[in-house]
Amino acid sequence: MNEPASQSPLGEFRRYLRLGQLAFQRNGDGKPVFYPRVLDPADGGPVTWAVSNGTGTVYSTTTLFDPDGSARNVALIDLDEGFRMMSRVEGVASDRVEIGMRVRFFVGSDEQGEPIALFAPVGEDRA
């Protein structure tokens, strides 16, 4: 590439996460775009970065049972800005996570220690 971008969309998303922020993109009409891309999937136009206020609603949720029998959560979260992402709701037993529950973003880490976006029920935020 003759004009390399300074950062891939994923690299930029992770840079925001390391700063404690949940980033997404908006298109020319101000509509949210997620996951981050190099262009607007609606019309190929430019996208600009924005930071979510981190509050949202559980769109769907499931409890997974690992081979050792332990349970954990996977959920789809609709952020208040109008985009959806996969995540995990923590701070409450997975079988108590319900569709429609209000949740707030926090930064956790994956098995490799990389920062990832997680959620907790509003009112039960981590300190």
Give the interface with another protein as residue ranges (CB under 8 A). Answer: 10, 35, 59-65, 72, 74-76, 84-88, 95, 99-100, 110, 114, 116
| Cβ-based nearer residue to another protein, 35 or 122 | 35
State the nearest-atom distance from the C-beta of 2 to another protein, in Å.
26
**Shortest distance, position 42 Cβ to another protein, whole Å:** 13
Nearest distance from residue 106's CB to another protein, in Å? Answer: 14
1 vs 82: CA distance, rounded Å: 33
Which CB sits closer to another protein, 43 or 114? 114
Task: Provide, rounded to whole angstroms, the least separation between the CB of residue 10 and another protein.
Answer: 5
Select 3 or 111, whichever has its Cβ closest to another protein: 111
